[in-house]
Structure 1
Amino acid sequence: MTRTTTSPSPSAPSLGDARIISTADFVFTPLAGRLTEIATPVSPAVGSTHVTLHVVRIAPGETFSPESSADEENTAVVFDGRGTATVGSRSRSVERSHAAYAPTGQALSLTAVEDVLTVYIWRTPLTPGRLPGTDPEPFSTLWDETTQLRGFGGTGQISPDADRATMNFVFWPGNGSSQLCLHCGIQQPGQTFNVHLHPDSDEAFIAFEGIGQMYLRDRWIDVAAGDVLYAAPGVLHGARNPHTGPDARRFVTCGGPSPYDPALYSAAGLSSDVR
């Protein structure tokens, strides 16, 4: 299978409507006067519609906060290292697989301790007319199985696979996320999260653990942990673990459409009303 990668630098061509960005193509820039460095593989500056995705390597003892915006939501997932996440006035120790959600009006900050803290951060402005949740959950992990989507068959454009992956709803309207939600796909060996599209939403998600494949537009593409997928509204995408046998391991992805797509919650038999 051909591996598709492209440069995410600001001088690169527009993301257009679909792209997979390999970790090898991330362009990191040090923050002024600091050891912390940041790459931005997805943003409106390079063609996305709604969402910005940063990859931040926070140096030990340093703190990173996205630029504040009165109408923006932020979600962070720890990819490596240990540290502290603060949302508004609440703080929690975090490590790999931990996640934080900062709703509109609450600042997000992340501090590294002994080692570099590598964090993926999704950002999006709140759609006009959409209100923040009344009591949003600020902290969780990718392994939170409280609310799940099982047996998803896709949206009909591609014949679905029968062995279907499970998706954890980590941050979603049911626990107070009003637009920028976070889902975690658990593709066990041989399983697929079936190909689908979001008519009105960007999709930005990452390969968090293992090796597998992401579907983009019209083909399956090999990916590894840390790689990023971007799909504009209407672009087909999905994830699968084609590996089987005694040495096969699970393939984990995380991210989500922005604004959230009510169809995913309807498929799980859930309301998309914001709590």
Structure 2
Amino acid sequence: MKTSSHLGTARIITSREFEYENTPDGSGTEVATPVSPAVGAPCVTLHVVRVAPGAAWSPEDTLVEENTAVVYAGSGRVHVGSESREARRASAAYAPTGRALTLTAGPEGLTAYVWRTPLAEGRTPGTDPKVFSTLWDDETRLRGFAGTGQIDPEAAPRATMNFVFWPGAGSAQLCLHCGIQQPGETFNVHLHTHSDEAFIAFEGVGQMYLVDRWIDVEAGDVLFAAPGVLHGARNPHTGSEARRFVTCGGPTPFDPALYDAAGVSSQVV
């Protein structure tokens, strides 16, 4: 049975629990904030934004923070600084410090998940970061991930993770990864020593691991795990009716261990 879980500095927040507030511009745009310092996240804030038809929205302090965004529903345009691109479901954008992120909705409106974080002291933006992409960008991937050693890896087939925005593409602190769990596959349980983890169920139904248990989730739900908290994702469904289970998000700041596991450099280019 699907349940909500709140375990100290680890939470799964179902989409039905989101608490939306209207933006002050009177456009009808609504914002929920399931992950933030108010719930114990030291590094990351995650908004769920329903941009009203024809309206535009930008995160507060966007010019002095890192932002990533994933379009969940609807269509419109996404702007990073002076550049813009058409946006539809699974479109993704990265706005480095100094370049504003703006979402503009088309006639049907636009729903997006948006991650925010200040650039930590000592970190500098990439020289020419990739700013537009899609969750299905499979140019750089992590396959066969066995976890980080705290619990035995599952014997199930291992899921694949796309690195959409990551240090090798110029992302200085935020990252965006897309986990694709085909029927029966698992992205093994792991933790990040120094990073918050905030990721969402983007497509399908599956399970997220949090602290010590697997919890049923569906598209739209959010997982938050503070540094040191075990988490993972799996698609336990098999058979002719089973479909893939897709997650997206990532640790903040990015965790070099994931890139080491993929055999690629974690240096920001």
TM-score (norm 2): 0.97
Q: Deviations over 1:212-243 (max 9, x none)?
A: 00000000000000000000000000000000
Farther-moved stretch of structure 1 (67-76 vs 86-95): 67-76
The match for 2:8 among 6, 16, 19 is 16
Deviations 1:133-152 (A, max 9, x none): 00000000000000000000
Structure 1, unaligned runs of 5 or more: 7-14
| Structure 2 equivalent of residue 272 of structure 1 | 266
Tell me the distance in 1 between the aligned counterparts of 2:153 and 2:98. 40
Query: Residue 58 of structure 2 corresponds to which residue in structure 1?
Result: 65
- Name stretches of at least 5 consecutive residues in structure 2 with no aligned partner: none
Is the 8 Å Cα contact of residues 165 and 191 (structure 1) preserved in structure 2? yes
Partner of 2:164: 170
Query: Which residue does 1:27 correspond to in 2?
Result: 19
Runs of 4+ with deviation above 6 angstroms: none
Q: Compare 201-210 and 29-38 and name the one that shifted more.
A: 29-38
Which of residues 193, 199, 219 in structure 1 aligns to 2:193?
A: 199
Match for residue 4 of structure 2? 4
The one-letter amino acid of 2:265's match is: S
Distance in 1 separating the partners of 2:69 and 2:35: 15
Q: Which position in structure 1 is the counterpart of 2:102? A: 109
Matches within 5 A, 1:76-91: 76-91=69-84
SS of residue matched to 1:3: coil
The 3-state SS of whatever aligns with 2:128 is coil
Q: What is aligned with 1:250? A: 244
Distance 2:241 2:147 in 1: 28
Whole-Å Cα distance in 2 between the matches of residues 4 and 22 of structure 1?
Answer: 6
Maintained 8 Å contact 1:170/1:182: yes
AA of the residue aligned to 2:21: T
1:74 aligns to 2:62 (yes or no):
no
Q: Secondary structure at the match of 2:108?
A: coil
- The alignment covers a number of residue pairs equal to 267
Displacement, 1:69? 4.7
Separation of aligned partners in 2, 1:193 and 1:178: 24
Distance 1:186 1:235 in 2: 22
Check 1:92–1:68 CA distance in 2 against 1; reply closer, same or farther (3 A cut): same
- The answer to whether the 8 A contact 1:5-1:25 is kept is no
Deviation at 1:103, TM superposition (A): 0.2
Contact preservation (8 Å) 2:2, 2:217:
no
Cα distance in 1, alignment partners of residues 8 and 212 from structure 2: 15
| CA apart distance, 1:70 | 4.7
Amino-acid identity (%) = 70
Alignment of 1:221-236 (within 5 A): 221-236=215-230
Secondary structure of 2:239 counterpart: coil
Cα-to-partner distance string for 1:141-199 (whole Å, 9 max, x where unaligned): 00000000000000011211231000000000000001000000000000000000000
